[in-house]
Structure 1
Amino acid sequence: MAMPAFEEYEPAVDCGCAGCAGQRRTAAVQPARCPGHRHRATRGAGRALLLVTTAGVVLSCGAAQAAVAAAGSRIPRADTAAGPRPDTPQGPAGPLVGGGLPGTPAPGAPAGTTTRAAVIDRAKKWVAAEVPYDMTAYWSDGYRQDCSGFVSMAWGLGSNEWTGSLASFGTKIARADLQPGDILLFHNLADPGAGSHVTVFGGWTDSTHRHYLAYEQVRPHTRRATTPMAYWTDSSKYVAYRYKGLTGQADGSGTGTEFPGAGRFGPGADNAYVTRLGELLIAQGGRRFYGVGAGPLWTDADRRATQAFQRAQGWRGEEADGTPGPDTWELLLAGTGRKIPAATDAGADGTAGPAFPGRGCFRPGRSDSRIQLLGAQLVKKGYGKHYASGPGPRWTEADRRNVEAFQRAQGWRGSEADGYPGPETWRRLFT
Structure 2
Amino acid sequence: MSTTHALNRGLAVAAAAALIAGVVAATPAFAAQHDAPPSATAVQDLDKGGAGQGPSVALAQAAGPRIGRSEVISRAASWYGIGLKYTKTGETYQGYRKDCSGYASMAWRLGTPGLDTTSFVPSGVASWISKGDLKPGDALLNDAAGYDGHIVLFEGWVDSSKGSYYGYEFTGSGVQHRTIPYPYFSGHGTFKPARNNSIVDDGQPPQTTGDQPVAGNWDGGPAGNVGVFRPSTGQFHLRNDDGSLVKLDWGQAGDLPVSANFDGSGPDNIGIFRPSTGQFHLRNDDGSLVKLDWGQAGDLPIAGNWDGGPAGNVGIFRPSTGQFHLRNDDGSLVKLDWGQAGDLPISGNFDGSGPDNIGVFRPSTGQFHLRNDDGSLVKLDWGQAGDLPVAANFDGGNGAPATNVGIWRPSTAQFHLRNDDGSLVKLDWGQPR
Tell me the TM-score range normalised by the shorter chain.
0.3 to 0.5
TM-score by length of 2: 0.34
The structure carrying a bigger helix percent of its residues is 1
**TM-score, L = length of structure 1:** 0.34
Instruction: Find the structure with the greater CA-based Rg.
Output: 1
